[in-house]
Amino acid sequence: MKTVLITGDKNAVPAQYLKPIREAGIELACKKCTSPEEVEEFAKDADLVWMFGANPGLTAEVLKRLPKCKGIFRSGSGLDALPAAAKELGIEVLNTPDSIAESVAEHAVTLLFALIRRIVHYDKAVRAGRWEGPNGMNWHISGRTLGLVGYGRIARKVEEMVSGFRMKVVHYDPFVPGSMELDELLKVSDYVSLHCPLTEETRNLIDARRLALMKPNALLVNTSRGPVVDEGALTEALKKGTIAGAALDVLCDEPPAKDHPLFGLDNVILTPHIAAFSADFEKNFWTCSAQKIVSACERFARSEKENS
């Protein structure tokens, strides 16, 4: 079995994580490809194509010209950076959401608590010489209802993390039996945290109509993908008091324009798509990636043998 990494050179993978791949008898070649022509030439004899994030060279047309390709693998969470045509071509699509689930959940909870306790606002006030009173302390954590949109690994870890605060947790996920309807979740939740993948169905999932369903004192957290939220509608909702605040680790355009309308709002916290990163990121990223490559190639080899 041969794997090609198309988003890094030969020194991209640390030696200790190369070892289990080599020991499994997998040939690994690495090159930072930047065009469809480069990907096609480099991956023409590969069983598995590996990438860290979006690669402009891996297109639907290129996939059609990779006769041996059995899978495409993105280290990390989310599959929106991979060609949708893979499924139609019978090519397996893989990722490693386990590698970042805990870190993203921690970041989501941190953003929520920072919003509730107005940490950023009061930090700025003190630094500016204003020793403010408790104006605007309109929220509490314990005993409130947290709505999770998407109920996969990250959302379940969020639920686990807030359990000590006696929060009532409800969730919406069309793939989970017994899940609440999204509109109902938005109506009953004090706080809403987004954990769904970006698909055609979830693009602008949280739009003006759905924002209007939320409580006026509700807070919204997004650590999933920027386009899950209609940013224009969110900006208007925050200005008009339709909802009370938002904390976003992701935006539709990254990095955003310097005059992005959310920048001028005091009831918004923004971070630069860093939820996945922590002191354990490197270890988790590479360990999960190596394990995924080995298990995928072993599965491909068994299937090839059975069909020969």
Q: Taking a C-beta distance cutoff of 8 angstroms, is the pair 233, 207 a contact?
A: yes
Q: Which of 200, 201, 254, 306 is catalytic?
A: 254
Q: Which two three-digit tokens encode residue 39?
A: 């990907």
Fold for the domain defined by 2-96+280-307: Rossmann fold (3.40.50)
**Residue 23 is among the residues annotated as catalytic for this protein:** no
Beta strands in 13-113 (DSSP E): 27-30, 48-51, 71-74, 92-95
Q: Which of 40, 121, 225, 231 is catalytic?
A: 225
Q: Of how many residues is the chain composed?
A: 308
Q: Which of 117, 156, 203, 273 is catalytic?
A: 273
**Residue 231 is among the residues annotated as catalytic for this protein:** no
Instruction: Please give the pLDDT value at position 83.
Output: 84
> Among candidates 152, 127, 143, which has minimal Cα distance to 223?
152
> Among candidates 81, 84, 69, which has minimal Cα distance to 39?
69
Q: How far apart are CA 281 and CA 106, in angstroms?
A: 13
Instruction: Please give the pLDDT value at position 273.
Output: 97
CB neighbourhood size of 58 (10 A): 24
69-81 in b/e form (b: 16+ CB < 10 A) is: bbbbbbbbbbbee
Residues of the chain with CATH 3.40.50.720: 2-96+280-307, 101-270
- CA 223-173-70 angle, to 5 degrees, is 80
CB neighbourhood size of 145 (10 A): 16
**Residue 254 is among the residues annotated as catalytic for this protein:** yes
Instruction: Please give the pLDDT value at position 173.
Output: 97
Q: pLDDT 10s per residue in the chain (308 long)?
A: 999 999 998 889 999 999 999 999 999 999 999 999 999 999 999 999 999 877 889 999 999 999 999 999 999 887 777 788 898 899 999 999 899 999 999 999 999 999 999 999 999 999 999 999 998 889 999 999 999 999 999 999 999 999 999 999 999 999 999 999 999 999 999 999 999 999 999 999 999 999 999 999 999 999 999 999 999 999 999 999 999 999 999 999 999 999 999 999 999 999 999 999 999 999 999 999 999 999 999 999 998 888 87
Instruction: Please give the pLDDT value at position 77.
Output: 81
The pair phi, psi for residue 150, each rounded to 5°, is 100, 135
Q: Which CATH class is domain 101-270?
A: alpha beta
207-229 in b/e form (b: 16+ CB < 10 A) is: eeebbebbbeebbbbbbbbbbbb
pTM above 0.85, yes or no: yes
